Amino acid sequence: MGNDVFLYRIRRSPETLDALKSAETRSRGGTLSSDLPEFADFTWISTPGIHYGIDENDEIRLAIRITYVEFSDASLSWDKVSKEWLEVQDTIQEWTTLAQEITTNVAAGAGTTREASAKRRGHMWGVGWHQSMQENTTAASYAPLRETWAKKRLVFSLLGRKERLMMRQRMRELEEDGSLKKVSEVYLKGFGSLVPGPQQAVIDIAELFNIPSFANHRWKGEMTDFTGANAMTITNGGFSNCVHCDNDFCSIVYGAWWVAEQFYRSLQPGQKKERYGYRHNPLFDHKDIKGGEFIWGQYNIGVKFDRCLVNRAEGLVECMWMGSEDAHASLLSLDPGGCTRFGSSIQLTRRGVNAVNAVRRYDEDVMPTRVKGTDMY
């Protein structure tokens, strides 16, 4: 998916980061647009191929892979994306129609930090294990959907008991039939083919501390062979946020972006209640959604998905970065209707790892009662 390799010498620029934070302050904590003068000197990446940002210590701080297009017809860029990737994208897209949205990034710091309280736009979901705020629960998976948008009534409508059970059952099917495990496998495979060293570091750390993978739905507190990144974050709906660093147990993060068709469908045949559905459609791509650039504020560099040039970003875009060390953000974006850009990332979050360790401090017979999986909602 990337035949050409591009190298960038990058170094931290505190002045640029201060300027971006000042711009956020002037906008009262709002997310920024790439049209601002603060981004005039940024290096924007959109050329198909593999891009590595290397610092003064010759370390790779960021990596980007953009689908390589060999055809004049841009809609054929998806021919270069494997069938495996398309399958896991379908799973991720469906998950967002089943799970409850989250208000804080799974990798965010405590609620008092600027990163956790800053404004953001769009929608966000979590997959995997996180620190629970519920009574008598230490670690939990993310909850099934409790409410949905009723388009014709223009109000939020609470789901009935039957509908909630339907959502929970479908989430469990995606867990039980191996769909989430396939997501984990494909992401790790893509991660390893982009930057083998950082990928192996995440695998080794998860094994060393015995952290259950976000796809390990059977975990109840015991030691496990199915380890990996404990959390996946998914975004869409014109998602953007402020410049921030994450609060990760391991700084290395891997993520992927793509565009999907968006449409309404009934929850059940004959019902008025509706929810979004998503599907792959090669007629929609990054060029159709303005903004949403992913930036590394300290390095004056970012991915410009919608660049209207011959070498604009197409199809699948993958990135690796140091989430808790290098400030990053998604800039202001606007979905045009009919399609949306999905973003996703996998990582070892500090609060998730702390929750796993806290569960294991209980006696073995108590552990399962401190863990709440999808089957317990």
| pLDDT per residue of the chain (377 residues) written in tens, 0 to 9 | 446 899 999 999 999 999 999 999 998 768 999 999 999 999 999 988 999 999 999 999 999 999 765 444 444 455 556 788 999 999 999 999 999 899 876 665 433 334 444 567 999 999 999 999 888 899 999 888 876 554 434 444 566 677 778 888 899 999 999 999 999 999 999 999 999 999 999 999 999 999 999 999 999 999 999 999 999 999 999 999 999 999 999 999 999 999 999 987 665 555 555 667 899 888 888 989 999 999 999 999 999 998 744 455 678 999 999 999 999 999 999 888 899 999 999 999 999 999 999 999 999 899 999 999 887 77
Rounded (to 5) percent helix, strand, coil in the chain: 30, 30, 40
Cβ–Cβ < 8 Å for 303, 62: no
Between the alpha carbon of residue 368 and those of residues 116, 303, 374, the distances in Å are 30, 43, 13
| pLDDT in the model for residue 239 | 96
* Region of 142 on the Ramachandran plot (φ > 0 left; ψ -120 to 50 alpha; else beta): beta
pTM: predicted TM-score of the whole model, two decimal places? 0.90
Query: What is the pLDDT, as a whole number, of residue 268?
Result: 57
Kindly report the length of the chain: 377
What values do phi and psi take at 115, rounded to 5?
Answer: -65, -40
Eight-state DSSP code of residue 370: G
Q: How far is CA 58 from the centre of its chain?
A: 27
Assess contact for 230 and 107: CB atoms under 8 A.
no
Other CB atoms within a 10 A radius of the CB of residue 116 amount to 15
Distance CA 262, CA 279 (A): 7
pLDDT of residue 83: 84
- So what's the pLDDT on residue 351? 96
What does the DSSP 8-state code read for residue 62? E
Domain ranges of the chain: 5-376
